[in-house]
Structure 1
Amino acid sequence: MEDVSDTRDLTRRKVVVVGASAVAAVGLGGALAANAVAGEQRGEAAGKSAESLAEECYKLTSETVEGPYYIDADKVRRDVTEDREGIPLLLHLKVVDAETCRPIRNAAVDIWHCDAAGVYSGYEDMGNGGGGPAPTGEPPTPGPSGPPPGGGHQEPTDDTRYLRGTWRTDRKGFVTFKTVFPGWYRGRTVHIHTKVHVNGEWTDAGYEGGSTCHTGQFFFDEESVLASAVVEPYASNTAERTTLDEDTIYDGSGVQGGLLKLRYDKNDIAKGVRASLTVGVDPEADNTGQ
């Protein structure tokens, strides 16, 4: 019987080699058109860049816990902002098969996150970290007013659904959400939750069936979080903030671990932020984050 894993490894090596060869050809053309030394340097740089991209393509994005505040896809929409105030955030994702690099089309991608005050919709009775205004005085103990990071699922306490939504990837694997820059709460760094569902069916009612192949979280670098912290309404969030390095969920592996690539005006982040990431998944896996 054929060893599937060996076949996949062989396919991976073939694609990487082909990619490197194609870049070498482009580098040669550039050398003929310009100075030989400069062209060789450019060719080497391009080759290294292409090799890095190929290697990155074959990395699975880190799986994480689902967290206590997931609500199954009941808001099929790209703009999840509703009435939440905050720095505009455009989240641009590409979902690919980490084994083949091919885009995954018609996948259902969920995102959900807290608002500037650390409030999660659907859980407004649970205090900062689960909903409601940021608490004052002594930090809450684990329980109804703030369960520990990665705790078991909590049943919703209300019907609010801001900063939550599901949308499908296009034929190139892209999906974009319009939201706001998340805030923070005690025990966690700034983050956005996500799930990727495949092999289901899109109907008039939404997305049905299929399986969850990825459960993860997206993270923001410290520079961007510090910049947001001086802008209202974030500046009014008095909750103790956990840095990216201190977070117990982020694995420190950069983009593979869900660290977003950000673009914004360094002098005025309030104008808005563009965030992007390629999410590598195994469409045959079952990763519910439980």
Structure 2
Amino acid sequence: MTGNQPKHKKDLTRRKVVVAGAGAAVAVGAGGTLAASGAFAGETSTSAAASSSSTASEACYKLTSETTEGPYYIDADKLRQDITEDKEGIPLTLRLKVIDSETCKPIADAAVDIWHCDALGIYSGYESSSTGGGTAPTDAPSGTPSGTPTGEPPSGAPTGGTGGGVHQEPTDDERYLRGTWKTDKHGQVTFRTIFPGWYRGRCVHIHTKVHVNGEWTDAGYEGGNTCHTGQFFFDEESVLASAEVEPYSTSTTERTTLTQDTIYDQSGTTGGLLKLKYNKKNIAKGVIGSLTMGVDPDATNDNN
């Protein structure tokens, strides 16, 4: 998108993903197919892995929980798998699969959006209004965040199971840690990013949307419906480990735990809890997170 303040589009039948800038790591052919400019270094194809491991007996997944899109969604304008840009943090490879929860069949050619805050709780596009950061507010505790905060979530936390704030218009042109990519024939898509930080009132999480029944064109993705709006979550062990690593360790923002969070429904993978792999002695080397999302491709779940 261009312009100072891209507007949030509620009419997703006119939704477009525009290939942005000279740095876009994608080529869109006349036939509407996408080609990455290069595979992630040292990483095998998840498509190949899927074809070798998937079997006809693969279990169906329940419908993945729908949640609020939150106040910081921007209609995707970055068609890319590596959304890191220059942000510091623990490397995170996010491997997702989208399937029809009724038939168990993978959903190919879906547009998957992800977006999340940086290591200090700041969202691109909303740097002036995000509630994270490495500088403590006047009423915040000092030092490394506690692993087990007590009491109710801090003031300003959303209330209710699907709360999280009304959409806000962007305040700046930054778009780091945001991106969209296309699922392959196995329903899989992989993103390269960083382990998110935390901000006041929420546990560590990543936002996602899945768009289906649209068309990939020279301009990107058009039409269709948003069949899923959700969030991915991280277990407490991984978050506590990340809090020992810079720049996360410099944050003085009070942290909300997974069990305190008012958005996560405590249902495990159905609720968006990622399956994580990392070196327990050195999380700084990187994390692989994976999840299968069971969706209803005929549903509309904007949750905005």
TM bin, normalised by shorter chain, reads: 0.7 to 0.9
Q: Secondary structure at the match of 2:269?
A: helix
Question: What is aligned with 1:157?
Answer: 171
Q: Secondary structure at the match of 2:270?
A: helix
Structure 1 residues 168 and 64: CA distance shift in structure 2, 3 A: same
Q: Separation in 1 of the partners of 2:242 and 2:134?
A: 18
Question: What is aligned with 2:139?
Answer: 138
TM-score by length of 2: 0.73
Structure 1 residues 134 and 164: CA distance shift in structure 2, 3 A: farther
Q: Separation in 2 of the partners of 1:264 and 1:276?
A: 12
Structure 1 residue 133, shift from structure 2 partner: 5.2
Q: Separation in 1 of the partners of 2:136 and 2:172?
A: 19
Q: Separation in 2 of the partners of 1:134 and 1:150?
A: 23
Question: What is aligned with 2:90?
Answer: 87
Question: Aligned partner of 2:241: which letter?
Answer: A
Question: What is aligned with 1:8?
Answer: none
Question: Aligned partner of 1:125: which letter?
Answer: S
CA-to-partner distance for each residue in 1:95-132, whole Å, 9 max, x for gaps? 00000000000000000000000000000111424xx6
Structure 2: tracts of 5 or more residues without a match: 1-54, 141-153
Q: Separation in 2 of the partners of 1:246 and 1:190?
A: 11
Question: Are residue 237 (structure 1) and residue 251 (structure 2) matched?
Answer: yes
TM-score by length of 1: 0.77
Structure 1 residue 53, shift from structure 2 partner: 5.6
Question: Aligned partner of 2:95: which letter?
Answer: H
Of the two, which has the highest radius of gyration? 1
Of 246, 252, 256, 2:270 maps to 256
Structure 1 residue 224, shift from structure 2 partner: 0.2
CA-to-partner distance for each residue in 1:5-25, whole Å, 9 max, x for gaps? xxxxxxxxxxxxxxxxxxxxx
Q: Secondary structure at the match of 2:239?
A: helix
Question: Are residue 202 (structure 1) and residue 196 (structure 2) matched?
Answer: no
Q: Separation in 2 of the partners of 1:247 and 1:53?
A: 31
Task: Could you list the structure 1 runs, at least 4 aligned residues long, displaced by more than 3 angstroms after superposition.
Answer: 132-135, 139-142, 146-149
Of 87, 97, 101, 2:100 maps to 97
Q: Which has the higher contact order (CA 8 A, sep 6+)?
A: 2
Structure 1 residues 235 and 197: CA distance shift in structure 2, 3 A: same
Structure 1 residue 208, shift from structure 2 partner: 1.3
Contact 1:73 1:110 in 2 (8 A): yes
Q: Number of paired residues?
A: 234
> 1:36-185 maps to which residues of 2 (within 5 A)?
54=59, 57-129=60-132, 134-138=135-139, 142=156, 150-185=164-199
Structure 1: tracts of 5 or more residues without a match: 1-49
Q: Separation in 2 of the partners of 1:138 and 1:264?
A: 34
